[in-house]
Structure 1
């Protein structure tokens, strides 16, 4: 493989398929813990909900961690690239307006993993939302405010 920047390597071979389930991950720039401020994390959640409302993707589970998010989605009427570009762009705008920040919020690119319907989606959702427990941010998942799953 040629020596490409990480953001380009993430795109190599990427193919988005409608009605496919994906686990998406995006990191803040320099892994800055921006969403340790829960109010700013809720602005990311608003973008997840927006994407669902306008039919881009159905959210199955998500968690917003201090410096990244995981989002389990079923892709609907858009590409992964568009879904993530709009979600990250609109979240950046809202976070910057609310916090007085300016400039980039996210690292370039994102990570995606396509899942098969035979995969245990409930198990994957549990893995996603248990992130704060594994990171030892809370002792009980109910104590963490920035997560959701359709199976809960």
Structure 2
């Protein structure tokens, strides 16, 4: 295999199918903690909701951390790449309008993991929403404002 940048290697062999559940992880550029400002994180959350409202994905659980997000979804239509591109593009636009930022918001590419078994879903949802606890950002999950799960 040729020596490709990580963002291109991630796309080799990527296959997405409707009705499959995926965990998406996307980092900010240089892991900059942009979303320490929770109002900016709301722009990302709005894109999760738009994707669901437009029928691209069902959001099962998500958390927006200061420098990345995890989003557990059921893909409904289109591709993972298209979903991520729309989410990144529109959230970048919202942050730029709010802050006047001129540089890129997100790192290139994204990480995805297809879930294969029912028990993986519950375990993965717990992993997603517990991120702020593990990172030491809060002592109780309810104290962190940028997360949600369909089971709550």
How many residue pairs align between the two structures?
A: 152
Q: Does 1:104 align with 2:113?
A: no
The equivalent of 1:40 in structure 2 is 40
Q: Deviations over 1:105-136 (max 9, x none)?
A: 00000000000143331221111000000000
- The aligned counterpart of 1:28 is 28
Aligned residues: CA RMSD: 0.9
4+ aligned runs moved over 2 Å, structure 1: 117-120
Q: Which moved more, 1:102-111 or 1:52-61?
A: 102-111
TM-score, structure 2 as length reference? 0.97
Describe the superposition over 1:48-68 as per-residue Cα deviations: whole angstroms up to 9, x where unpaired. Answer: 000000000000000000000
Partner of 2:18: 18
In the alignment, the residues of structure 1 paired with residue 95 and residue 113 of structure 2 have an alpha-carbon distance, to the nearest angstrom, of 26
Unpaired stretches in structure 2, ≥5 consecutive residues: none
Per-residue deviation, 1:101:
0.6
Q: How many angstroms apart in 1 are the aligned matches of 2:96 and 2:134?
A: 29
**Structure 1 gaps, min length 5:** none
Helix, strand or coil at the partner of 1:84:
helix
Moved more, 9-18 or 63-72: 9-18
TM-score, scaled relative to structure 1: 0.97
